Copies of this chain bind each other. A is one copy, B any other.
Amino acid sequence: MDTDTSPGNAQRARPLPEFPALAQAAATLLRTPTALGELTADDALCVASYMWAVAYNTGATVMQAGESQHTGFMLLLLSGEVSVETQGTDASVISVIGAGSLIGEMGLIDGAPRSTNCLAVSRVEAGALTRGGLNKLIGEHPAVGARLMVAIAQRMAERLRAAGEQLQMVTQLLGDQQAEIARLKR
């Protein structure tokens, strides 16, 4: 189990409850559909109280694909914008996300190396939940921890289903191309 040290390579990191307005904003944003809409208002306030307030300067690397140290946290974006490079049918797809978006849930859960590159397009404020924080939350408020985990698992299930469909589509394309190559070689 991690001790709850501050997360990653942020420019600064302080416990989120030190900034009551930010903590309130985090609780509200946690309940948006892009974050974890299934949580109650009280759940969200409780989760926010276990977060760190972190900030990244414009141009800073928020997460780096392959990064294996200090990956055990997720971020809830509070302000500013982050560009995310994800695998798609094109070599890479860049999406730009902002307040209310969540990144790094998989790292929170398993601490494995990051799978995407995330860059701060502007100055970014975020709430960070580390594995240490999650464990503390589960120990002190297990029902809230359980509902948070259900909400995170729902998000992951959604992404797994999308990945399955994408894989099916790309596999279909692969078959079509194989037939085309066979035809051209005839």
Binding site for B on A (CB under 8 A): 87-91, 105-106, 109-110, 112, 115, 134, 138-139, 142-143, 145-147, 149-150, 152-154, 156-161, 163-164, 166-168, 170-171, 173-175, 177-178, 180-181, 184-185
**Chain A interface mostly helix, strand, loop or mixed?**
helix
Nearest residue, chain B, Cβ from A161: B115
B109 in contact with A168 (CB, 8 Å): no
Nearest-neighbor residue (CB-CB) of A115 within chain B: B164
B171 touches A91 (CB 8 A): yes
- Min CB distance A26 to B, Å, is 20
Which of B150, B164, B184 sits near A149, CB closer than 8 Å?
B150
Shortest distance between the CB of A59 and any CB in chain B (Å): 26
Instruction: Judge whether B171 and A87 touch: CB under 8 Å.
Output: yes
Supposing A143-B142, A163-B160 touch, asked if A181 and B177 sit within 8 A by C-beta, the answer is: yes
